[in-house]
Structure 1
Amino acid sequence: MKKFLLTASAVLSMQVAFAQTSAITNAIMYNEKGTLDKAKAEIDKAVVHEKTKDNAKAWYYKGVIYQAMAEHPIYGKSVNPAEMSKAAHEAFAKVPALETKKKEFSEDAGKRQQLLMNNMYAYALNEGVEHYNNKKFTDAQKAYMRAATYKPEDTTAYIYAAYAATGAEDFASAKTLYSQLVDKKMASPTVFSQLLYISSSIDKNDKETLAILEKARAAYPNDRNFMLQELDLYLKSGREKESMAKLDAAIAADPTNANLLTVKGNLLDKVNKPEEALASYKKAVELDPNNFDAQYNMGVYYFNKGAALNSKANNMKLAEYQKSGKAMLNEAKKFFNQALPYFEASLKLKPSDRTTVQSLLKVYSALERPADAKRMDALLQQD
């Protein structure tokens, strides 16, 4: 039987290869023992050495060890958890391509990648919040945008990034971010409202504002605020008839929609047609007694009638007042009594609405109901 002697170079080569394989083994052993700093030192050597830099097992365990360090209550304090999680994610991402034969680590690497993605999203989002709270708006925006890359389907990071851009008075970036959400059909009413604020108050671009409103109305056809903003723009541009025609067409298509009737009442109020507005509010209340705006505006109509008579009586000369002043004040009280149930209904619908409380305070005072007036005053003092 022949015996073969290894050359010195061959022996050395085997020793080096064994040493690097041992680095992987040592890293696994240290990881199992919980000495993660030593595990990291060993695996860092393995993934850069010529003999093991393309070893799927090495990269898999780099991911495992880095992930463990990022999440460890003690070791996590000595490293940047966000950076460690990112490095772990990148390590796991290499595994499938390196496992050309038996897929021993790929499946678990994929699962761990997803978990790390969630972690990295949370780290980046929290970093953004911290920067934002410290008024470091540019840094906050960068962190939020990094979070968005980890969960592009989630709107939170985009919205927060836009808030940060607004904080930095970078309205162009904020507009771009909000517009991206609109284009992705992921815009909430708040997103549209912010976009409308920039276009109308910052850029003062009525044409662009109207284009945004058209998209907002298409996405949220029953949103009263968007309806009113759109109609306001029509009125500003002298398109009253077009505005009313648009609203009447919407009501014809949806005649039991109390919101549309309330908006019509608002529009009629704006063009100084209070009697027609009242009819629209009445119909809205009949359709939906819980419609706050219709109830409140009914109260406003009757209150204004009474207040106008009160003012007229108080401005009379003595002779005129002696002749018809008291009768006029009694007529005013009739209107105040008509206003009262609508304001009371409004307060039940929105108990913390200060405008309604203030209106009720005025009505109770006009009707000489001091106890009720005092109750309203107490509500105002609570804030």
Structure 2
Amino acid sequence: MKKLFFVSALSLFSLSAFSQDAVNKAMVDQFRKDKEKSDKDMSDAKNSAKASFWMDRAKLYENIALQGSEVDSSAAKTALEAYKKVVELDLTKKGEPGKSAKEAQNILSGGEGSQLFNAFVKQGAEKYQAKNLNGALEMFTAAQEINQKDTLASLYGGIAAQQLEKKDIAKTQFEKYAANGGKDPSVFYGLAQLYRADNDFDKAIATLNKGLEMSPGNKDLKAEVVNILLASGKEDQAISELTALTTSDPNNAQNIVNLAILYDNTSAKMNQKIKELQGKLGAGSGKANSATTNLESEKGKIEVYDGEVKRISALIKKQPKNADLKRQLAEVNAKKKESVAAIAKLEGEVKASQEAAKGSDMASLEKELADLKAKQAEASNKAVENYKKVLSIDAANYDALYNLGVFYFNEAVQLKGEVDNMNMTEYQQRGKEVEGRVCGKFKKAKPYFEKAIQSKDEAEAKENLNTVNTVLEQFAGKGVACVEE
């Protein structure tokens, strides 16, 4: 969008400010004759040694650039070199600049009455129109040497460089534009995009903020600050910026949708972290519990082996020559020895597991989990609140309708996971009750998908609605009553 703005601006500049329609054909013919004569006179050593010759040549080429570019599309460059030659040659006996040299220097530095800057900008615009972007960039850059405080040449130099994909040059040009007091928000937006493409998010945001100093109410710049904060992983700042936008413009449904999506995404990320923490807590206590269970099992074996040793030993006293009994006794003792070794190993594992659990600071993890669940619930509630706020402004807003449907759909899937993980005893105790709530969540999602499809015929909404309908039919077949919360 911003690039199109730049192109149209340059078109307007080149076609209106420097239109060639009014140029007199006779004047152009005269320029051509005067140019041929000046070019020829350059080969005359006597002429080329005079500052006056170079001054005439500079002014001729400057006028050609301003009024007859068809004679020489780069006449401004020739004028520039000729003015420099005047400064070089016109010296007094004391070695100081003469009258012509001072005049030429005034022109080269963009002094009062100088038209050389305009000559470069005009011919740069013409080269741009002819799609000679490199030539245009050269002209705009030269113009800036004449007037370093100008914003026009740096603006168009940045545009040309950007289209040539010379990003570093484009940045330099746009930075000059901004430094010299340029105010066009499109330039700040475009420059921020260049920094964003390089993942230089801090500079991108600083550029947008500078643009907002010039145009405090610009919605594009404000929205892009949020986008870049998101791209750089700074969701909290993005939420803060977007909340401010929704406060200043409470009827802007798109801003509110974006804020809701931000809260929605934040909730989803927190859900993932909650699962990870629950996994850590389960692993810490589970490993110790497993090792303790195995230890108790091995200790139980010792009691069995001791009983067998006592029984077999009593039989051997009665039958001292019975080889089979002696073999049985040897086997039991060997198994008891293995169990004793296993117990020693398991005791070490239990101790290590308990120490590991202490090292991971289970209490700290439990507190972190509780805090995270509270924040996740808050983000979740904010998401729903803002989606519904959008629908109060625009009841047919597809994004709000679809995302609310997805929100309740995901809640249903998450709750169904509880049922899937139940053992038979747990399911008999409360499985039907939880299934009723699962059914209620799917039922709650259904009208949002239906209204979303009415607003916009999208495949994603249709697919989700079909899934919801299938699930609800299955619950009905099982005799599960939907419970909406």
Aligned to 2:210: 215
CA gap of 1:62–1:253, structure 2 versus 1, over 3 A, is closer
Aligned match for 1:338, one of 428, 438, 448: 448
Aligned to 1:71: 70
8 Å Cα contact 1:44-1:62 kept in structure 2: no
1-side partners of 2:413 and 2:235: how far apart? Answer: 36
Structure 1 residue runs of 5 or longer lacking an equivalent are 1-30, 73-80, 98-108, 132-138, 349-356, 370-383
Aligned to 2:406: 303
**Within 5 Å, which residues of 2 pair with 1:1-383?**
40-44=35-39, 48=47, 53=52, 70-71=69-70, 81-84=72-75, 86-87=77-78, 117-123=121-127, 126=130, 128-129=132-133, 142=138, 145-146=141-142, 152-153=151-152, 155-162=155-162, 164=164, 166-167=166-167, 170=168, 173-183=169-179, 184-189=181-186, 191-192=188-189, 194-195=191-192, 198=195, 201-203=198-200, 206=202, 208-218=203-213, 219=215, 220-223=217-220, 225-229=223-227, 232=230, 236=234, 244=240, 251-269=246-264, 270=266, 272=376, 273-288=379-394, 295-309=398-412, 316=420, 328=438, 332-342=442-452, 344-345=454-455, 347=456, 357-366=458-467
How far apart are 1:83 and its partner, in Å? 2.2
How far apart are 1:341 and its partner, in Å? 2.0
How far apart are 1:331 and its partner, in Å? 5.1
1-side partners of 2:159 and 2:28: how far apart? Answer: 43
SS at match of 2:407: helix
Structure 2 residue runs of 5 or longer lacking an equivalent are 1-25, 87-99, 101-112, 268-375, 471-485
2-side partners of 1:181 and 1:61: how far apart? Answer: 30
How far apart are 1:335 and its partner, in Å? 0.8
Q: Name the amino acid aligned to 1:309.
A: A
2-side partners of 1:212 and 1:55: how far apart? Answer: 44
Q: Name the amino acid aligned to 1:268.
A: Y
SS at match of 1:278: helix
The two structures have a TM-score, normalised by structure 1, of 0.51
8 Å Cα contact 2:62-2:79 kept in structure 1: yes
**Relative contact order (C-alpha < 8 Å, sep 6+): which is higher?**
2
How far apart are 1:280 and its partner, in Å? 1.8
8 Å Cα contact 2:41-2:48 kept in structure 1: yes
2-side partners of 1:187 and 1:365: how far apart? Answer: 49
Aligned to 1:78: none
8 Å Cα contact 1:63-1:88 kept in structure 2: yes
1-side partners of 2:64 and 2:174: how far apart? Answer: 39
How far apart are 1:68 and its partner, in Å? 8.5
8 Å Cα contact 1:268-1:274 kept in structure 2: yes
1-side partners of 2:33 and 2:232: how far apart? Answer: 70
How far apart are 1:296 and its partner, in Å? 0.5
How far apart are 1:282 and its partner, in Å? 2.2
CA gap of 1:211–1:200, structure 2 versus 1, over 3 A, is farther
> What do you get for the CA RMSD once the two structures are aligned?
5.6
How far apart are 1:300 and its partner, in Å? 1.1
Aligned to 1:27: none
How far apart are 1:178 and its partner, in Å? 3.2
Question: Could you report, residue by residue, the CA deviation over 1:168-222 in whole angstroms, capped at 9, with x for unpaired residues?
Answer: xx4xx44433333334343435643542652684446x4x455334335553553
2-side partners of 1:119 and 1:148: how far apart? Answer: 14
The two structures have a TM-score, normalised by structure 2, of 0.43
How far apart are 1:360 and its partner, in Å? 2.5
8 Å Cα contact 1:63-1:91 kept in structure 2: no
8 Å Cα contact 2:408-2:442 kept in structure 1: yes
CA gap of 1:110–1:198, structure 2 versus 1, over 3 A, is closer
User: Which shows bigger deviation, 59-68 or 296-305?
Assistant: 59-68
2-side partners of 1:328 and 1:258: how far apart? Answer: 31
